[in-house]
Structure 1
Amino acid sequence: MTMTRKDVVSVLGRVDDAMIAELILTEASLAELKEAWAWVFGDDAFMGEGRPLPGSQVAALIDLIAPDEDDDGDGPAQGRS
């Protein structure tokens, strides 16, 4: 099932409308967004746990939500310029 705006906000918190639309357009599931969030912001090192690398859908979400290099890294990217 494709995510809704409410789903995105429930995982990422306050993000701009463009980011929400971009994430919804990926047609990823809520579970995939949660997994992407855990890869980017989780305290556990998934690779250290022997977890497999994320699939292509989760990897695409990671690219969208990961902070830019010059960002402070405290949360998801707020949109792309």
Structure 2
Amino acid sequence: MVTIPDPHLAMVRPVTPRTPRGCEECLIEGSPWVHLRLCLTCGHVGCCDSSPMKHARRHAGSDDHPVVRSFEPGEDWRWCYVHEALV
């Protein structure tokens, strides 16, 4: 079986986290988060799906930036929200 790479990986760019201290929206709203995700298209830092506001998923959908990586220390996995899969 041949595995075809996720086409959304073409959207991955070298990025700098826009808010390295935490989720961009949660910092503004004063909301808590559980884990952080870094958008690999623009550098948006958002909270994960286990967080109350799910800002990383919202950003992926509203800005059409589907690929994130974990922004947690020691983690280096990437996720595509469109395919709901590790990439």
Q: So what's the TM-score if we normalise by structure 2? A: 0.28
Structure in which a larger fraction of residues adopt helix: 1
Structure in which a larger fraction of residues adopt strand: 2
